[in-house]
Each structure stands twice: as structure tokens, then as C-alpha cells.
Amino acid sequence: MNSVAILGASGYTGQELRRLLAHHPHVRLAHAMSAREGAEPEPPALPVDQPIERLDLAALEKVDGVFLCTPHGTAARLAQKILPLGPKVVDLSSDLRLKDLALHAKTYGHAPEAPELAQEAVYGLTEHARAAVAAARLVANPGCYPTSVLLPLKPLLRHGLLDPHAVIVADAKSGTSGAGRQPTERTHFGSVHENFLAYGVGNHRHVPEIWQEAGTERIVFVPHLLPVFRGILTTLYLTPAPGSGADAIRACLRESYAPEPFVKVYDRGYPELNRVQFTNECHIAVGTVGPQVVVISAIDNLVKGASGQALQNMNLMLGLPETAGLR
């Protein structure tokens, strides 16, 4: 058995990893720790839960992998201390995703904490970085919104099926868990219930990440907050290249993801949140609206958009079956 630790184990992504690891055939959770130095241990919330331990970096010398489920701005500093101890590291925060350091500072309001690690970290969109992830000691796990946009979009850009001059509109809608466990006025039940809104229009922090990995800045991304707990549904409005169209786009996606265990391309119908919740799957469908093509994707933001993808990456890093613990 391989052993792993979770730092930030009481947050939503940490809790989700604990749920997944409880059924993993090849990995045991050795330590569920707080990410805050000096934080007191927390008793288990349920009788079957593992208590949250005080942060103890020395204990990480004995584990094979570490998941950083920590606040933005904290993970990079921890990674600097953990990597010399030997374990593989998957960072679920945004600290190491952007390669352009000036852009990181503009996006997050501070210079990157570990610029050398930002350059080293493999961007872990697993289906498009499998070999690099398997060889890495450090992976920057993608954001949930970027995962929902990039999985359907990257094959189409790579094969030149979209008009290179047309704007790509990414209309994305997420449940409230995407904002994290810390309550805010906006995510309070009274604000979300019977409500629906756009937010971060023109300045959402995931836009530079999407542009970086798509290789283009002609993507207009607008996120919305759904009155549900988990799930993301993204609709891409696309202008096909001359000679392309919905059939070619669907065929490209089918061929690209035919061998993939977690990506399903529909022949008919459209994805819904309740089909992907609690799974590591991304469901994709293609439709037409006049001359435009729409591509719709659905993921669980806490699983494929965070903890499930992180475990998928760690499986590869440890030389384990990619699907272990995720079926």
C-alpha cells in the first residue's frame, strides 16, 4: 500500500479526497492534517472519520504523496518544504498554475510565492498531460471551471476545427461549493436560494488559466452561480472553421476521448448535473444553433474539477492504475 497525506483536510476538497481514499485499493490515508501552523487538532465529525491532525511536516517524510488542499497563497510555501522530504505533491490551489509570473501577480494581487516551482509544476489536465504527470514530482491541479472548458475545447483547437478569428464564448454555471467552505454573504443559503446570477464578469481569476492552456485569448468566459451545491455545466458557443461543423466536431471529440475512462461524448441528448455528481466523469455533447455549434460539458466541480482529478493525477505519479479509487 502507498501512503498519502492531505493538508487542509477539513475543507470541501479535503473532505472529498478523504471520501475517495476510503475506498482506494492501493493507497491509505496516513495523515489528514490542518494546513495552518499551530492549529489545534480537530476531533472527527463522525465516528468513522479520521481526526484532523496538527500540521507536522516531519511526518511527511514517510508518505509517498501529499495533496495540498490549502488556501491560495499557502500551498506554494508548503510545497517548497515538502518536496525535499521525498513525496510526490499535487497542489489543488491556484498557486502553481500560471507560468507567467507577472500575470500571476496581476491576477491574484501578489507575486508567486515559489516562482521556481510554478515553472516546474505540470499542469495536470490528466487526459492531455498523462505522460508528463506520470513523470512529475509536482502537479498543479487545474481549476474546476478551466477543466469544464478545456476538456471539450482543446481537441477542437488542436485539430483546427474552429474559425481562428471568431470569439469563443464559454458560459459556465457552478454550484456553491466552488467558492469553498468558508461562508460568505454571497454563498449564504438566503442569498443563493431561489436566485441565479453572473459574477466575476471580465475579471474572474480562472480566465488567465483558461487562456494559457487553450493557447488563445479569444475566449470570453462568464461564470454564474447556481442554487445547487455541486456541479458545473458549461456551454461553449463556437464558430466552426470553413468545411467544419457539428458532425466534424462531434467526431473529433469522440475520437479524442474514445480510450478515456472518465470522458463520455454523447451521440444524442445533452449532459445534466445529476449524471456526473459524485463521479470523476466529464460528459460532453454537441448541438447546433443556426450557423453556430454549441458544445456542452458537465462535471462535478469537487471531483473531476478538483479532488477526483487530483487523485487521478496522483495515481499516475505513484505508478498505480489511473482509475483506482475513482470508479
8 Å CB contact between 261 and 323: yes
Q: Which ranges of the chain does DSSP label H, i.e. alpha helix?
A: 12-21, 75-82, 101-108, 115-120, 130-135, 144-158, 189-192, 207-214, 246-257, 273-276, 308-317
Catalytic residue check, 144? yes
Q: What is the identity of the amino acid at 23?
A: H
Gyration radius of the chain's alpha carbons: 19
φ, ψ dihedrals at 135, nearest 5°: -95, -5
Pairing between β-strand 168-174 and β-strand 122-123 as defined by DSSP bridges:
unpaired
Dihedral angle sign, alpha carbons of residues 253, 256, 262, 264 = positive
Cβ of 188: how many Cβ atoms within 10 Å? 11
Residues annotated catalytic, as ranges: 144
